Structure 1
Amino acid sequence: MKTTVDLAVNGTLMRGLELSANMALVEAEFVREAFTESSYRLWSIDDRHPAMLRVSTGGVAIAVEVWAVPASKVAVLLLLEPPGLCIGKVRLADGEEVLGVIGEPILCEGKREITAWGGWRAYIADLAGQKQAIAAEAV
């Protein structure tokens, strides 16, 4: 019997990011980088974390990481997530369906849509570059 579940994460739980220590806390193991199928959109929640939603039109493939999480610790991991994030089913580009971190639609209302970046890492890298450029101009 399988004792882990594959979980797709698209934000601060990814390796090296703000909440990645939570993956170690629940003894999750990194499996691979992947993309969702082209039916998701992404929002920045106050530039602290993303929220991904599945949509019927206008979606793109979003960069994710797939982790093997002990089944007994999925709820622990979810309880450590920011409010408004939950676990749902996510379809990957290769057709596999796994559990994944998704956002409640209300969480995204009035927030900046960042779908065009294709993932949280790309968005925060661009944001960091913009901040550096502003700082350089101020000198």
Structure 2
Amino acid sequence: MPDQIKLAVNGTLMRGLALNSNLVDADARFVREAKTAPDYRLWSIDDQYPAMIRVRQGGAAIALEVWQIPPEGLVQVLRQEPPGLCIGKVRLDDGEEVFGVLGEPALCEDRREITSYGGWREYMSEGGAAG
């Protein structure tokens, strides 16, 4: 669909998690599971949701989901995101570049880095967060 935007999500917007209904209510459709290129780091924001940032060094591939969403739906979802999360371009491990949810660097200061888990679901499965 030409009027759809691909959006990569790496936290509570993913299927089965707390804010997934924000995507569904915005007429988004799940496309596939994916991973980022190994250029990202991930932080837990008070064990409520993650924040991901692209870095020059020390990054890893982070698990995420790719969705298709209409432009007006993207605006709707972004308005519901917590402060400090924003939309930027995310490079996937297959070289594709899509829009994605990222964290502002200031949001991650003094937070627990969880990059080594490889993703939010993996962090939650280890007992790190409630979902």
How many residue pairs get aligned? The number is 130
The amino acid across from 1:65 in the alignment is E
Q: TM-score, normalised by structure 2?
A: 0.96
TM-score, normalisation: structure 1? 0.90
Q: What amino acid is aligned across from residue 82 of structure 1 in structure 2?
A: P
RMSD: 1.5
Percent identity over the alignment is 60
Following superposition, the deviation at residue 88 of structure 1 comes to 0.1
Q: Which runs of 5+ in 2 are unaligned?
A: none
1:32-43 → structure 2 map (5 Å cutoff): 32-43=32-43
Task: State the 1:73 CA deviation.
Answer: 1.7
What does 1:12-27 align with in structure 2 at a 5 Å threshold?
Answer: 12-27=12-27
Query: Which of 1 and 2 has greater Rg?
Result: 1
Per the alignment, residue 97 of structure 2 pairs with 97
Residue type of the alignment partner of 1:10: N
Which runs of no fewer than 5 residues in structure 1 stay unpaired? Answer: 132-139
1:49 aligned partner: 49
Higher helix share: 1
After TM superposition, which residue ranges in structure 1, 4 or more long, deviate above 6 angstroms? none
Shift of 1:127: 1.2
Q: How far apart, in 1, do the equivalents of 2:6 and 2:98 lie? A: 6
Question: 2-side partners of 1:4 and 1:80: how far apart?
Answer: 19
